[in-house]
Amino acid sequence: MKILITGSSGLLGLNLALELAPDHTVVGADRNPLTSQLPFEAVGVDLLDPGVVAALLEDVQPDAVIHCAAMADVDACESEPQAARRMNAWLPGEIAAQCARYGIQLVHISTDAVFDGQSGGYTEEDPPNPLSEYARTKLDGEEAVFSAMPEAVVTRINIFGWSATANRSLAEFFYYNLAAGKPLKGFTDVIFCPLLVNHLAAVFALILEKKLSGLYHLVSPVGLSKYQFGVRIAELFGFDPTGIEPVKVADFGLKAARSLRLTLDTSKLSQALGRPLPDVFDGLERFYQLHQQGHQEKLKAMLG
């Protein structure tokens, strides 16, 4: 299968491309593509330019697109709502329209943050209530995708992992600051269900193989607080967990509102795939193993 991955220099896109490349023909598209030691083809393109999406699909002729590119900095979206809307809402609709035109499978990446986090345990049927501009634009992106291509797949995710720039995930934040002996704070009242980006690749491959369509929650089946997440990283890597201070969100003047309890029901997807999803604890173990295997250095070398 030939798979086009957008945002292929980012945390999710790059790791997906690396995991899928051994078994598929992968083309990565990014505004600032990586240049060195890539096991897949990389294309430099600004997907927001007029006509670029159609031209890219005509040139690559993929069997499937996994659309990862997004404006994901929550506070930046709050400061630049128009830029966030173009990237997170307009672009997904354009990609879906062109995939529908050419008969290409599409998996679009959304976020668990479309929910307000008041209750948790959200299913795909529960009404979203986004609290931030980031979440609002991502929800609008979901709607734009299904409007243009009802047979598309939209997955709501929360992720962690190693990135080429070493600053794209909460796990990296904890690891590098703990390694430097810097004092840290961890939210005890934010409960989330992140998945390791490397684990997502096999799930996406199965989604494409089974030709699924519709909306799915693709997160860890079990959750934990961000404080507990940091403590587990400290324990795995042999750092002192007491270097992480437990705090609450209200103690910080964050620009954008955060949802506190983002546990999602994943049974719809696990049933469709015929297998359980990996969980956050499996992911943290592999996160540590990837470190032992020099995965960070491999990613950093791709920056050129």
pLDDT digit string, tens, across residues 252-276 = 766 667 788 999 999 999 999 999 9
Q: Say what the pLDDT of residue 303 is.
A: 85
Q: Is residue 240 part of a domain?
A: no
What is the total count of domains within the chain? 1
CA pair distance 239, 225, nearest whole angstrom:
19
Which member of 102, 122, 134, 216 is catalytic? 134
Q: How many CB atoms lie within 10 A of CB 256?
A: 17
Percent of the chain with pLDDT over 90: 93
Is the Cβ–Cβ distance between 39 and 91 less than 8 Å?
Answer: no
CA pair distance 234, 212, nearest whole angstrom:
38
Query: Binning pLDDT at 50, 70 and 90, where does residue 251 land?
Result: confident
Mean pLDDT computed over 281-303: 95
Q: Domain with 23 in it: what CATH number?
A: 3.40.50.720
Q: Say what the pLDDT of residue 304 is.
A: 76
Q: Domain of 135?
A: 2-166+194-222+261-280
Q: Is residue 139 part of a domain?
A: yes
CA pair distance 70, 63, nearest whole angstrom:
22
CA pair distance 289, 198, nearest whole angstrom:
12
Is-catalytic flag, 134? yes
Q: Say what the pLDDT of residue 82 is.
A: 97
